[in-house]
Chains A and B, each alone.
Chain A
Amino acid sequence: MDDLSFRLITEFAAPIALVIVAFFTGRFLEHRHFRDLREREAINRGFLTVTFEYEPSDGRVETIGLMMGSVVVSVDHFKRFLAGLRNIVGGRIKAYETILDRGRREAVLRMQAAARDAGCDGVINVRLETSQLANGRANNGTAGVEVLAFGTGVRLPGSANRGTGPAGLTRPAVPAP
């Protein structure tokens, strides 16, 4: 067994250490991101964000323009490894579900922030697009997934929101009309 353990150590120690470090760091960052997302979503709760092609409560709105928010996310090395295993036996890849959820929510929050900054009261016809980025020089796993949220930013009649403030997130939520 001597030479087996020797081979295991020399050949696999570094990649395995990387997987372990990635697991703890990735998990810490993920927890922090989810907490952050929840806080910001609570602030933005009242901000009109719908997939309708019209403003549902009134209809008479002013169009400000196209609002976008995007983020490129990637899974950590541990989850990539786990997904590689899962790929063989099939089934649900739980490890990738969180990263996509994080990406979509982050993209929507950024779109909302952009809309606030532009003086919108809401974004209608919101669409989400997910695209995989081709892998560049590294050859393990993907380079990342881009999530883009976009929609038409509108201002409601009689709105006081002139959108000159800095980051939309730091401002109080605009109450729904």
Chain B
Amino acid sequence: MKHEPRIPDELANYDRDNPVRDLPVLLLGIAGAAAAVIVIGALAIDLLVPHVPASWEINVFNRLPIDGFATEAGTKRQLNTAALLMQRVGAHWPDNPYPVALRIIDDEAPNAIALPGGMVLLTTGLLEQVESENELAFVLGHELGHFRNRDHLRGLGRGVVTMLVVGALTDGLLADVGGVLGDVALRSYSREQEHAADAFGLELMYAEYGHVSGADAFFARQHEKSIKDRANDAAYFSTHPLENDRITALSQLAERNHWPQKGRLVVPDWKAELARDDES
């Protein structure tokens, strides 16, 4: 056997293509596909949601051990007053299939959440901030609006779709990009939902009080706060872009329907109590 050393072709094992060439195709392809799946998923859920009977939903979700995260917070008086208010406001929506229950959760951020199965969560932060019962009535009416439009189910479904898509993107950076894309793809859509819920809330509010004064108080305060925070809050744009739009939309709607925008505001009873305590 003769040894005749030769050097083999190294390009058999790899090629000299610039790897950057793969990047745009992969990146746009995957990000586009992810966004498309999220949007198609959202549309499919929208078609599906009206066909889900409320009784099913109530049955399924009220069996979930929801107590774990919705622990009782706030005072008994706050809970009673809010629950009573919810009944009064809800009475103007006679077709309501949900046995709307109310819980207060301990969270500084003022917020209200409509959960599948007919549960409304209010944060302690919201209850501490509200200046009038009217304002709270609007918030509750808004959440009832979400129930009427079945937004809570849409939100849940969309959350699941986004989670699945983002979960399928194994790379961390890519998952972030996918999440932002999904967010953007659905943003104008969820904006519409909020406006619809606002409109319903306003309608209920008018039915209850005969005027809609105090409806925009919550947004106005949020807006003011975000302007104040804007200098040092880098997340301003991502969290509070829409309050002004919503205030304008509310007042336009009230004008169109000739609902008075001025009227007597009712001080919430737990605030009145605090005020009395301060005086004594």
Chains A and B in contact, CB within 8 Å: yes
> A94 near B176 (CB under 8 angstroms)?
no
Q: Residue-by-residue, is B14-46 near A (CB-CB < 8 Å gives 1, otherwise 0)? A: 110101101100110110000000000000000
> B22 near A2 (CB under 8 angstroms)?
no
Distance of A60 from chain B, by nearest CB (Å): 14
11 further interface pairs, Cβ-Cβ under 8 Å (given A88-B171, A97-B13):
A4-B180, A8-B180, A11-B176, A16-B173, A47-B5, A81-B173, A84-B174, A85-B27, A89-B26, A100-B13, A101-B13
> B237 near A94 (CB under 8 angstroms)?
no
A46/B5 contact (C-beta < 8 A), A82-B23, A89-B29 known: yes
A82/B13 contact (C-beta < 8 A), A3-B241, A11-B176 known: no
Q: How far is the CA of A2 from the CA of B20 in the complex (A)?
A: 29
Q: Residue-by-residue, is B211-245 near A (CB-CB < 8 Å gives 1, otherwise 0)? A: 00000000000000000000000100110010000
- In the complex, the number of residue pairs spanning A and B with C-beta atoms less than 8 Å apart equals 91
> A88 near B19 (CB under 8 angstroms)?
no
What residue in chain A is nearest B13 (Cβ atoms)?
A101
Distance of A172 from chain B, by nearest CB (Å): 14
Report which of A48, A79, A140 forms a contact with B19, defined as CB distance below 8 A.
Answer: A79
B contact set with A: CB distance below 8 Å: 1-7, 10, 13-15, 17, 19-20, 22-23, 26-27, 29-30, 168-174, 176-177, 180, 184, 234, 237-238, 241
Report which of A16, A42, A86, A177 forms a contact with B3, defined as CB distance below 8 A.
Answer: A177
Q: How far is the CA of A129 from the CA of B55 in the complex (A)?
A: 62
